[in-house]
A and B are shown apart, each in its own frame.
Chain A
Amino acid sequence: MNKVENNRAWFLVTPVFLLVAFSAVIPLMTVVNYSVQDIFDQNTAYFVGAEWYREVLNDPRLHDSLLRQFIFSGSVLLIEIPLGIAVALMMPTRGWTASASLILLAIPLLIPWNVIGTIWQVFGRADIGLFGWALNSIGVDYNYASNPMDAWFTVLLMDVWHWTSLVALLCYSGLRAIPEAYYQAARIDRASNWAIFRYIQLPKLKSVLVIGILLRFMDSFMIYTEPFVLTGGGPGNSTTFLSQTLTQMAIGQFDLGPAAAFSLIYFLIVLLVSWLFFTTITHLDKAK
């Protein structure tokens, strides 16, 4: 076959090239640029190499919020994934109740983050919030504004309320895709309900669970709005997660150099953990 050389064909990739450049490469490179310089004003900037990275990596404030972040994301996954699966298993499959429960589950997903924060901020107040008032009136000393444990509990509850639906809906669609013959065969093989779940439903849910775990990990790892609206990261620093620490550093203190270095590290952590999840799960799959 004759191949025609035509270098003008390169122009065809220009739109994609420009799009990727403006949406990803240029902003990211700007951050890289900041992260290796110490900038005083428009005309004064010094190249500092890996200095900011070293500083950021040794900052105890960041260590603390990184630890908090991992505990938070871990708890989110530990609660939302099993709960989502359980909800999906219990959802009706036919009739109007099926549609009704789908709509009901979709509602939290449609609410903007800051509205969620506001809802729970009011809902949890001991004086005018139903939730806070109810807890206090049955004798539980609940106050998210002063007690770190209560604040944590509220942020977690908020996230579970907001996002379990996503896992449940993903699992629901996965469950619907299992052919009836599997259940029939399992009955004939005298499988218990647990065995049906363990050997039919769970394996068939694996691909949607990978998506669910990745989405929930990435999202919860970057949580910002909800704790910010609820307590502004407090009480103390108890609900100050990574993204808020970063914002304080970049906007509050205007330490652009360290903030840029930190952004890149943050980005790499999300990438690394997601990659680890993904490869572990796909590798488990390939094992003979």
Chain B
Amino acid sequence: MKLYLKVWRQENREAKGDMVSYDVDGISVHMSFLEMLDLLNERLIQKGERVIEFDHDCREGICGACGMMINGRAHGPLTGTTTCQLHMRSFKDGETVYIEPFRAAAFPVLRDLKIDRSAFDHIIQSGGYISASTGQAPESNSIPIAHEVTEAAFDAAACIGCGACVATCKNSSAALFTSAKVSHLVLLPQGKLEAANRVIKMVNQMDAEGFGHCSNTEACEVECPQEISVLHIGRMNYQYNKALVLRK
């Protein structure tokens, strides 16, 4: 099949970018979306042009490195899918496909489709952990945790940090990402001790990184490859409000 691509090309952080057209034929329906870009890049090399830069690594939907806006949707037209797991059978022969980086002020473009998501690392650094140094741990079964609680914590902890929630949010809010971590940790007994401090620090950091606020449009849940629930945002808000009220 043949596709007409319009791809965002941008030299560096400061440069102005632009959509550039590429006609790509000889695409097989079995290819993944990233393999289709590999194919295009291979041809660009043959023509002596600079390849399209994009982030990708595991190509099995778990590392969270890949992520682009495909036809105006984060990770493309499917839900619950990362860009690397999107296959060309989801497109029609002769279709025009727009490819852009995830956009947010907190995710500056490095080159083409590569973006800087270190803001997410900063949010985790601000408190997204349980302070348990190596060697302090008690016997693991001495902390029984209900099956349902573990499963709920897992649901939140499944976040892959790809940034689709931010990209699809009309306000570029990182509420889903931040709340998934807050929720994961506060659900577990080990994580409750630091809950109040954690949530305040993480929310403040989220602001400091320049993310917008949450309007509860719930678009993030739809586009999240791990289908993380927006109810975690509710839990984060609860924890935050509680911490504000109880703060001395």
Please say whether chains A and B are actual partners in one complex.
no
